């Protein structure tokens, strides 16, 4: 049914004719086409909750950049919202929660979200699948429980997330209770995305890198592993930004693809992770500021290092909003035209 | 002349009776005594430029926590200021530069700072040395050229420092010219600190972790190495936050001590760095939020992992301002009372 299933085959370790490519945050401010649609609804959370618009901007980068997958336009913070903790997105500031989680009572009060709570996402997925008509696969996603936990405790973005980490140190039991609730919600949510048509899923652990290796195993990887065990029908990508220390441990969980950022040496990562996972990444988003000759040579160097088996080309983080659209297209074309 | 030279001996790889300890950002908001002095001058940059007050808050943690070294109270951004790029510290926001560096002309216009430009720092050092009267050594410091460069281009703090990195990608030649000017200024500055009495120096590379390993070698480590080669009379500590990928390369430069953060496994770091450097670190500042029993057990676990040779106990980052003063004291005491 899918006309282009390169990413699914690469994820499963099957042979591919060429390296597949998509970009984190490919649907977003880098596209004037996105900004035009985005203008129709002032409030970001309302925008996320409008399936027709979310579907429209999900498809834009497939048409404009020619990437090998769409990723549903949404936000990782829809989960706290569905659990009873609404948030606002403040321009140039980031997310902000009016209430945060502090006590046992606060955790008790939160409910485990079910798929129906997030109908606006699954509705958008259905619209996208219909519109794509098998052109490329659609990626569903969620935040990793630790990253969601971090926002729910901290109440906003932070350089250190020191309040969230304080909870781990002062009340590990309550931390685990909350992490489990988030995990159960996330499993329900991802299953609903898959039922609605998501062909693979990615778990984003944006704040993985601020934990110690031991804490990461106990408070993050354990829950990511639960999610990976619960999702059995589609390939699973785990991207734990900055968690260089967890690469070996991550190779043991039940996922198909591990995302790398640009600080992680490619051959060292392959050695740590082994041959049984597909790797994804890892160009520095800032490379796309360079002129085309540099983009080409650095991208080809990266592709050669990863090799043509078990690899999906991507950036090592989301696209930065001020990136030139043509440079993004050139990066995608460079990958697609490359042959070993 | 020094009554306590534990840190100097540990830095040089000599035998010590017990593990020495100091804390990054030990002079600062965690102390009510600091906040009281700080209130006397509203503007942060003016405060930094007042030697009597800088000296007073430098000595406070020696008296209150009983740490084995003082570190001169100052700011890494005094270097851009001395080169012709003034900044303001905006409450709850961080540093902000009215002018940033964009063009070749902007770089040409900057001057290489000499020691005299920073008399307010060297005056503070002289006052501290007199007041300390040999009680403990005094640490001088500077930012690493890359970190200073990052602020000079970006003009403020940033999660990604994408504008600074853009300069590396689009104009490596100009980047090197600016980095060299910063390096020359920093060498002059550190030499002036040493002449005035600094007993050892630390180079802070706060934004090391956002570069790729290759870029780090080219645009940061190269210049840190120049500084280490130029400073020959006192021990040198290099702390490159989040630069896990550079540990092996750092073992080759002419420094005495390498700082680690809490994401870096201790025994792996020792293996990568070898036996010829002293290691410093690496407790998570958030550990100090925990109750005393947890602080004690985690700290002792860390001390045992590092071992009693070529080691200086510290945190893996600066103290967070909302840390309880008594917990800081308890951490210091735990190190000082520990015996193998």
Q: Mind listing the pLDDT tens digit for each residue in B94-115? A: 999 999 999 999 999 999 999 9
For domain B6-337, the CATH architecture is Alpha-Beta Barrel (3.20)
B residues 165-194 closer than 8 Å to A (CB): 165-166, 168-170
pLDDT of residue A91 exceeding 90, the answer is no
What are the per-10-residue average pLDDT scores of chain B (340 residues)?
97 97 97 98 97 98 98 98 97 94 98 97 98 98 98 96 98 98 98 98 98 98 98 98 98 98 98 98 98 98 97 98 98 97
Tens-place pLDDT, residues A266-324: 999 999 999 999 999 999 999 999 999 999 999 999 999 999 999 999 999 999 999 99
The C-alpha torsion from A314 through A315 and A321 to A326, rounded to 10°, is -60
Pick from B78, B70, B67, B82: nearest CA to B20: B67
Residue B205, both tokens = 């590379």
CA distance B338 to chain A (A): 22
What pLDDT sits at residue B90? 95
Domain residues of chain B, as ranges? 6-337
Q: Catalytic residue at B35?
A: no
Residue B213 has its nearest CB partner, among A263, A287, A289, at: A263
Could you give the residue ranges of the DSSP H alpha helices within B231-324?
A: 247-250, 266-273, 292-306
What percent of chain A clears pLDDT 90, i.e. is strictly above it? 98
Distance (Å, rounded) from C-alpha B11 to C-alpha B30? 27
Asked if B330 has any chain A CB less than 8 Å from its own CB, the reply is: no
CB contact under 8 A, A162 and B289: yes
Interface test with A, best of B24, B102, B263, B331 (most A CBs within 10 A): B263
**What SS3 class is residue A138?**
strand
State the alpha helices, DSSP H only, in chain A: 6-12, 32-38, 44-48, 51-65, 78-83, 104-109, 119-132, 145-154, 162-170, 172-196, 213-216, 222-230, 247-250, 266-273, 292-306, 325-337
Backbone φ and ψ of A146, nearest 5°: -60, -45
First to last CA, chain B: 28
Q: Please tell me which of the candidates A160, A166, A213 has its beta carbon nearest to residue B265.
A: A213
CB pairs under 8 A between A and B: 79
Angle at A330 between CA A325 and CA A331, to 5 degrees: 100
Q: What is the pLDDT of residue B92?
A: 84
Distance from C-alpha of A196 to C-alpha of B248, rounded to nearest angstrom: 48
- Beta-carbon separation of B245 and A263 below 8 A: yes
Cβ of residue A150 closer than 8 Å to a chain B Cβ: no
What are the structure tokens assigned to A329, written together?
A: 């297209």
Q: Please answer yes or no on whether A212 and B162 come within 8 Å at the CB atom.
A: no
Other C-beta atoms closer than 10 Å to the C-beta of A108 total 12
For residue A92, the model assigns a pLDDT of 84
Q: Are B258 and B277 in contact (CB under 8 A)?
A: yes
Asked if A170's CB is within 8 angstroms of B212's CB, the reply is: no
Burial of A276 (0-12, 13-18, 19+ CB in 10 A): exposed
Judge whether B17 and B4 are in contact, CB under 8 Å: no
Q: Which candidate in A212, A242, A244 is best for mutational testing of the B interface (most B CBs within 10 A)?
A: A212
Question: Is the Cβ pair B212, A263 closer than 8 Å?
Answer: yes
Which candidate from A294, A317, A322 shows the least CB-CB separation from B169? Answer: A294
Percent with pLDDT over 70 in chain A? 100
Of B75, B94, B77, B74, whose CA–CA distance to B85 is shortest?
B77
Which pair of structure tokens corresponds to residue B303? 């001390």
For A203-270, the three-class secondary structure string (H helix, E strand, C coil) is EEECCHHHCCHHHHHHHHHHHHHHHHHHCCCCCEEEEECCCHHHHHHHCCCCCCEEECCCCCCHHHHH
Mode of pairing for the β-strands spanning A200-205 and A70-71: unpaired
Query: What φ, ψ does residue B5 adopt, rounded to 5°?
Result: -120, 25
Residue B9 annotated in active site: no
**Cβ–Cβ of A169/B209 closer than 8 Å?**
no
CA distance A320 to A25: 8
A297 and chain B in contact, CB less than 8 A:
no
Looking at the DSSP bridge assignments, the partners of residue B202 are B141, B237
Active-site residue set of A:
25, 29, 38, 75, 151
Partners of residue B283 in chain A, C-beta under 8 Å? none
Q: What is the pLDDT of residues A172-227, one digit of tens each?
A: 999 999 999 999 999 999 999 999 999 999 999 999 999 999 999 999 999 999 99
Task: Check: CB of residue A278 under 8 Å from CB of residue A238.
Answer: no
Query: Of A165, A294, A317, which is closest to B286 when you measure between CB atoms?
Result: A165
Question: Using CA atoms, how far apart are residues A169 and B288, in angstroms rounded to an integer?
Answer: 9
d(CA B191, CA B299): 35
Which of the residues A240, A284, A298, A331 would you substitute to probe the B interface, choosing the one with the greatest number of B C-beta atoms within 10 Å?
Answer: A284
CA-to-CA distance for B191 and B234, rounded, in angstroms? 10
Residue at token pair 């994401």: B263
Nearest residue in B to A266, CA atom:
B213
At B42, is the secondary structure helix, strand, or coil?
coil
For B283, nearest residue in chain A (alpha carbons): A212
Q: Which of B161, B245, B284 to mutate to test the interface with A (most CBs of A within 10 A)?
A: B284
Three-class DSSP category at B15: coil
CA distances from B125 to B67, B119, B137, B197 (A): 18, 10, 11, 6
Residue in A108, A83, A112 with CA at minimum distance from that of residue A97: A83
A330 touches chain B (CB under 8 A): no
A-proximal residues of B, 257-276, CB under 8 Å: 262-265
Complex ipTM: 0.96
| Interchain proximity B170–A284, CB inside 8 Å | no
Supply the pTM of this predicted model.
0.97
CA-based nearest distance A285→chain B, Å: 9
């Amino acid at each position: 049914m899918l006309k282009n299933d390169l990413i699914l085959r690469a994820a499963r370790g099957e042979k591919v004719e060429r390296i597949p490519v998509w970009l984190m945050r490919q649907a977003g401010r880098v596209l004037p086409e996105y900004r035009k649609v985005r203008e129709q609804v002032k409030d970001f959370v309302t925008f996320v909750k409008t399936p027709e618009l979310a579907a429209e901007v999900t498809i834009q980068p497939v048409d404009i950049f020619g990437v090998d997958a769409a990723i549903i336009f949404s936000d990782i913070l829809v989960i706290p919202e569905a659990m009873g903790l609404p948030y606002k997105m403040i321009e140039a500031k980031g997310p902000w929660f009016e209430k945060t989680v502090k006590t046992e009572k606060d955790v008790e009060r939160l409910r485990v979200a079910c798929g129906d709570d997030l109908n606006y996402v699954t509705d958008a997925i259905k619209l996208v699948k219909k519109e794509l008509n098998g052109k490329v696969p659609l990626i569903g996603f969620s935040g990793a429980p630790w990253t969601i936990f971090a926002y729910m405790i901290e109440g906003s973005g932070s350089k250190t997330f020191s309040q969230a980490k304080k909870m781990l140190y002062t009340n590990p039991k309550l931390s685990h209770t909350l992490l489990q609730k988030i995990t159960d919600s996330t499993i329900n949510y991802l299953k609903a995305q898959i039922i609605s048509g998501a062909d693979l899923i990615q778990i984003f652990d944006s704040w993985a890198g601020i934990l110690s290796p031991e804490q990461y195993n106990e408070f993050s990887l354990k829950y990511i592993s639960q999610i990976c065990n619960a999702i059995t029908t589609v390939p699973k990508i785990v991207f734990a930004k900055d968690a260089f220390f967890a690469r070996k441990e991550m190779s043991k969980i039940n996922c198909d693809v591990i995302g790398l950022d640009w600080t992680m040496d490619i051959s060292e990562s392959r050695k740590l992770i082994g041959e049984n996972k597909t790797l994804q990444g890892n160009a520095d988003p800032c490379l796309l500021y360079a002129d085309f000759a540099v983009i080409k040579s650095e991208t080809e160097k990266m592709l050669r290092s990863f090799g043509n088996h078990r690899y999906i080309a991507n950036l090592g983080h989301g696209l930065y909003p001020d990136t030139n659209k043509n440079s993004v297209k050139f990066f995608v074309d460079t990958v697609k035209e490359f042959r070993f």
